[in-house]
Amino acid sequence: MWPAGLTQVRTRACRVWKVPSIPVGYAPRPLRRVLAVKEHLTELVMQALLDVRRKRKCELPETPGFVIERTRQKEHGDFATNVALVLAKSLGVKPRELAEEIIATLPESRHVEKVAIAGPGFINFTLSRGCLLGTLKRVFERGEQYGAAEPNEKEHITLEFVSANPTGPLHVGHGRGAAFGASLANILEASGLKVQREYYINDYGRQMDILAASVWLRYLELCGVPVRFPDNGYKGDYVIDVARDLKHRHGDRMRRTTVEVADGLPADESQGGDKELHVDALISRARQLLGSEDFDLVYRIALDRLLDAIREELLAFNVRYDEWFSERALADSGAVARVIERLKRLGHLYEKDGAKWFRATTFGDEKDRVVVRENGQTTYFASDIAYLLNKFERGYTRAIYVLGADHHGYIARLKAAASGLGLNPANVEIVLVQFAKLFKDGKEVPMGKREGNFVTLTDLRTEVGTDAARFFYVMRSHDAHLDFDLELAKKQERDNPVFYVQYAHARIASVFRELGERGLVHNRFAGDAAKMLLDNPHELELLSTMQRYPEVIEQAALHRSPHMVANYLRELAAALHGYYDGAGVKILVDEDDLRNARLNLIQAVKQVLANGLRLIGVSAPEKM
């Protein structure tokens, strides 16, 4: 987009541009708190293009389409633009020639120290020291809000993450989704968006029935009734704990004999049969022997016990939700039946082999999907469709699902469901998080919830701490597999990335403690007045790195990538440690002005470190 205020006028030769009410010698707006460096540079380039147009009296695209980006190598300056490469062809000139012309007409800016041409025609900008020093003022003005964008009231996102079946404790695999989702929510909010955090409770369906049957069988064992446990049952010790709670509350009232339980059941897999048929028959037998009321009682005790444990664990993991949404409540409210009727009314359902099918292939899915089985039971997918519609009925403009990588098929089917409901599928977003593997003593730890041999998230937190777990989970891109090195996470050494970052924050805090022990005080205003004394290359690197922080948040939100924040924090910590250790710089010097200027610098670094750590759910300790 061209800056506001630019209008078109036509001459016989071609269309040119003019800026009304702007005197000769106009320069773009000075850099303010609300105006990012990249936007300032964009305005400079746009103004130069106006001058190029006036000079050449020629046509150029109304939307030039160039970009201004951070350079990858410091020797190329701070920012680079491809504007000359993009527009040279339309002018019939070489990119470097156009780049020279643009540079010649760039307005002066106290925020730009140097402009140079690189390669085939890139224009590189080196920021002035004054521009970098301005970062300190912005950090102090904004404090905990430094890096955050202005609120965007137009978009309200519902972000669903974890949503593990309440059939057992959260394990290490769930931990990555929890850390990623909670961090992403924080980052999206920092980027200006309104975010609602939601956990979808899968408390309806076959898996919960298997859990209830498993609990009842363990209860029978506690009552002294010998029973065979199914191959497909939940075998973890937590099931015995729930059964013990059931017996404590209800005594032997639900006790039945071995013959009553097992007589006539089809063979299990280990008996040469089918484990699915066996467990389904066992569930039916349990319902028959207990009656619906008592079976539902067992189910409810198991659900409440395990769901409470999940809530407590997530809170301990620094993960909070705005809504715990029940799948059973969705079904009981009639929402599933209503959404099926809606799809039927829109012509997107058909019947085949006694079942009702959604025409998902019409909307890009690989196959049509059953929503009502032959026996009249609705499918999980029918609940998924009803839940999707419910999100938008509650007023959210975008629904983001954070799912495990094994849910790849959900992308096409959920977007197909959105289209079938008349929603915009672009507003339904599925972010897949790859699996996390735990390594201890160089060996992978096997995990499997059904078998009960998994490492719980509680176990992990107990061993390495919440901070280490949260940081390790998000320090790799969510679309890459994560090997969680348990021994590294426990190290109190610099090769442990979370220790490295937290130590930088604590190290700065120790400088201020030493300042007080010496009977000195930090005068921030004096330090601001003396900020031009900050001219050490390490000091400029710290300033440049802090200046990038708002851009990192913006990109992390745009790409749904919390690891960008974690990686940034490691860079900032490295710059701080390099300044402290390798630059030969003393912070608490005798000269008041220089000391206060350097204290301002590290205090700003401390603030940015704390801001970034908060986004990924990690504490910023004052001592280590």
Give 203-241 pLDDT, tens digit per residue.
988 899 999 999 999 999 999 999 999 999 998 899 999
Q: For the whole prediction, is pTM greater than 0.75?
A: yes
Domains of the chain: 7-127 (3.30.1360.70), 158-201+319-433 (3.40.50.620), 206-316 (no CATH), 497-615 (1.10.730.10)
pLDDT greater than 60 at residue 36: yes
In single-letter form, the type of residue at position 327 comes to E
Which tens digit of pLDDT belongs to each residue from 362-398? 999 999 999 999 988 899 999 999 999 999 999 999 9
Q: What is the mean pLDDT of the chain?
A: 90
- 479/450: higher pLDDT: 479
Do residues 203 and 305 make contact, with C-beta atoms less than 8 angstroms apart? Answer: no
Question: Who wins on pLDDT, 612 or 58?
Answer: 612
- Cα 435–Cα 436–Cα 437 angle in degrees, nearest 5: 120
For residue 324, the surrounding DSSP H or E stretch is: strand 323-326
Letter for the amino acid at 462? T
Largest CA distance in the chain: 100
Of residues 259 and 30, the one with the higher pLDDT is: 259
Whole-number Å distance between alpha carbons of 112 and 69? 15
Q: Please give the DSSP secondary-structure letter assigned to residue 144.
A: G
Structure confidence at residue 27 (pLDDT): 41
> pLDDT of 284-326, one tens digit each?
999 999 999 999 999 999 999 999 999 999 999 999 999 999 9
Share of the chain above pLDDT 70, in %: 92
Amino acid identity for residue 53 in this structure: R
Query: Does residue 44 contact residue 68 with C-beta atoms inside 8 Å?
Result: no
Mean pLDDT of 138-149: 96
The Cα 456–Cα 520 span in angstroms is 49
Helix (H) / strand (E) element for 160: namely strand 156-160
- pLDDT value of residue 20: 29
In sequence order, the 6+-apart residues with CB closer than 8 A to the CB of 408 are 432
